[in-house]
A = this chain, B = another copy of it.
Amino acid sequence: MGPFDRTDYEDRLAKTRARMEQVGLDLLLVTDPANMHYLTGYDGWSFYVPQLVAVPIEPEDPVWIGRGIDANGARVTTFLNDGDIFGYSDDYVQTPDRHPMNFVADVLRARGWGGRVIAVEMDSYYFSARGFEVLRHDLPNATFRDAQELVNWVRAIKSTKEIALMRCAGRIMDRVMAVAVDAVRPGVRQCDAVAAIQHAQVTGLPELGGDYTSIVPMLPTGPGTSTPHLTWSDEPFRDGEATIMELAACHRRYHCPQARTVFLGQPPQRLSDAAAAVVDGLNAALDAVKPGVTCEEVEGAWRGAIAKSGLVKESRIGYSTGLNYPPDWGEHTMSLRPGDRTVMQPDMTFHMIPGIWQDDWGIEISECFRVTETGAEPFATTPRQLFVKR
């Protein structure tokens, strides 16, 4: 399953344990599906019910705990032995009188881990406040800590194999954006354009299939371009309107996101001016990328370049990306913004997306890149411009 082998997982587990040791943890409960996949290979759309990978500080195999009907999924997709895969019965699922975390607590206790210093990913989507209460209730001898984004930080620097997967995603992305720019035409229903986009995302290339992206195509159009996260409707695209497309391509769960903006007809001067300023700023920020600079310094290069344009941007201009599952392809670690003093290192990977959203219009032109030994390597090659279709 995938290009990774046992030594890759051992390496990742060793790095995770080194961080656990630094902060005094002896058991880590991993509920973020990307982190579960990273440490064991587990893959499947089963994160809508509680599931986790438990990583003890000792160098032994982790334990997968999830819904009974998904246990075969763990057997198919991970390197774990049967004895380390625990499935709860279906009467734990979405029922008021018991919770899957009751079962998890039983397994942890049976393993002798009931009195440990246990870290949980307290801001992960698929570890709920109720689940945490149940766990604390059922394991009164444990000491609970917030793991913060411990495994996410291990993921921040990609391996050669991971970079190769992101390059594959980048190649697919080139085709996806070409299809997308072509599909947006006056009178075409938004849903028909997105159908073409999703087809391109999933078909991929003849030698390279596409996987589902962690976010569906975001496609604000017309006045909707004043905000980034609207999806599509049945309405047609209209002449004289802009459409922002924030898309991605994904190969084996590794993403290359990219945003571009299309204008149908003659764009207003403010939009053309904004496009020029955003491209200048994006180029300046990409030029500033190299090992040793901080995330906020890269943002500063953007800020300096656009200062003369009069554009103002309060929100961050980028974030770490790569392996992920819905609802986000961001890794929740580094952000390109003032105050983030994380030092860039080779094989960190980012999505730089300095979107501009004003009262009733907006524009996005973005780039996904790797930090190299000397600079930035974009994964895709779509021209950095406002696409004007007359």
A interface residues with partner B (beta carbon < 8 Å): 43-48, 68-73, 75-77, 89-91, 93-96, 99, 120, 122-133, 146, 148, 189-192, 194-196, 198-204, 208-212, 215-216, 218, 223-224, 226-234, 314-316, 319, 326-328, 330, 332, 335, 337, 339-340, 355, 357, 359
CB distance A327 to B327 under 8 Å? yes
CB distance B128 to A227 under 8 Å? no
CB distance A128 to B133 under 8 Å? no
CA distance A126 to B124 in the complex (A): 9
For A315, give its contact among B68, B208, B340 (CB under 8 Å).
B68
Give 29 A-B contacts (CB < 8 Å), ordered by A residue.
Answer: A44-B227, A44-B229, A45-B215, A45-B231, A45-B327, A48-B215, A68-B315, A69-B355, A70-B228, A72-B227, A75-B227, A89-B314, A90-B337, A93-B315, A94-B319, A122-B128, A124-B128, A125-B125, A126-B327, A128-B129, A129-B129, A130-B146, A191-B204, A191-B210, A192-B202, A192-B203, A194-B202, A202-B232, A212-B216
For A209, give its contact among B234, B337, B359 (CB under 8 Å).
B234
A211 surroundings in chain B (CB, below 8 A): 191, 231-232
A126 surroundings in chain B (CB, below 8 A): 125, 327
Task: Report A91 CB to chain B, min CB distance, Å.
Answer: 7
CA distance A182 to B193 in the complex (A): 23
Residue of B nearest to A126 (CB): B125
CB distance B212 to A231 under 8 Å? yes
CA distance A218 to B231 in the complex (A): 22
> Do A315 and B90 form a contact, CB below 8 Å, given A191-B203, A216-B212, A231-B212?
yes
A68 surroundings in chain B (CB, below 8 A): 314-315
CB distance B212 to A202 under 8 Å? no
Residue of B nearest to A362 (CB): B72
CB distance B76 to A230 under 8 Å? yes
A339 surroundings in chain B (CB, below 8 A): 91, 95
Residue of B nearest to A234 (CB): B209
Task: Report A390 CB to chain B, min CB distance, Å.
Answer: 26
> Do A191 and B209 form a contact, CB below 8 Å, given A122-B133, A124-B128?
yes
CB distance B228 to A91 under 8 Å? no
CB distance A73 to B229 under 8 Å? yes
Task: Report A83 CB to chain B, min CB distance, Å.
Answer: 17
CA distance A327 to B359 in the complex (A): 31
CB distance A95 to B133 under 8 Å? no
A319 surroundings in chain B (CB, below 8 A): 94
CA distance A192 to B199 in the complex (A): 8
For A327, give its contact among B48, B89, B232, B340 (CB under 8 Å).
B48
CA distance A209 to B191 in the complex (A): 6
